[in-house]
Structure 1
């Protein structure tokens, strides 16, 4: 489990003309948006509003991490495999040859990215895909 820095997903909102002052928490995961505003006045001051926002954000992240894992999604132009983090890749060499792979990608920590490819020529299309799905599942920590 990663620990967010103090300001991750938290923004200060000050709109003096309309009397709005507080902290806004906004995040998006799996296409769903989460957000909550913590007004200085209702929370008992700027510092307490920030602490409540930070606490709410941390609980939300914890809940979302418990639900995390390799997801199956609808096939689209951006995702032809139907599995998040798994894609088919074609590499063209300078001699004109093409190499086909199934690739798994994941982020083990913020700012880090991991990738592994499985050759269709070596494993066959179906097996290379399965290996990529398993690698992705293990990479995001979903070992059965």
Structure 2
């Protein structure tokens, strides 16, 4: 399957084709290239690629893209207060619901990864702390020194140091 920046494959019940999405300063330019209308997946991909190149070459219409991916540490709309971590319910193989902290990250554009930590197994605070730590480690691996230690992780490190001294 061919890969190109800003072009994704759509294969749903009634839609088969390539979708082009280009983002510039808060505005999305999007168009679907149907396999049926264009004679198959390869011609549809070629048309999508040509469309994307045309969009990007029209400097007057589209400002240049941002040089790097934007980093966000906190978002007030997020219920946990930490971007990439949410408190949610997952079902096991038997269909029994369990409360978890879900962690998500994107190792590269267009690729999503994630895991979760059980609140029942680890407890509320520890599950959240493990989720924060994993998110920080993954983001640090992706962005390197550009990704600073978030303030919430500093607070947990201080708390762990106090807890360790209390146990000793």
TM-score (normalizing by structure 2): 0.45
Question: Counterpart of 2:75?
Answer: 73
1:132 aligns with 2:131: yes
Q: CA deviation at 1:86?
A: 0.7
Matched, 1:27 2:34: no
Residues 4-83 of structure 1 aligned to structure 2 (within 5 Å): 4=5, 9=22, 26-27=23-24, 33=26, 50=57, 52=59, 57-58=64-65, 60=66, 62=67, 64-65=68-69, 68-75=70-77, 79-83=78-82
* 1:102 equivalent in structure 2: 101
Deviations 1:45-78 (A, max 9, x none): xx9x92857xx524x2x2x43xx33421114xxx
Q: Please give the alpha-carbon distance, in whole angstroms, between the structure 1 residues aligned to 2:73 and 2:112.
A: 18
Give the structure with the larger helix fraction: 2
Higher relative contact order (CA 8 A, sep 6+): 1
Contact 1:70–1:136 under 8 Å retained in 2? no
- TM-score when normalising by structure 1: 0.51
The number of residues matched between the two structures is 102
RMSD of Structure 2 on Structure 1 (CA): 3.7
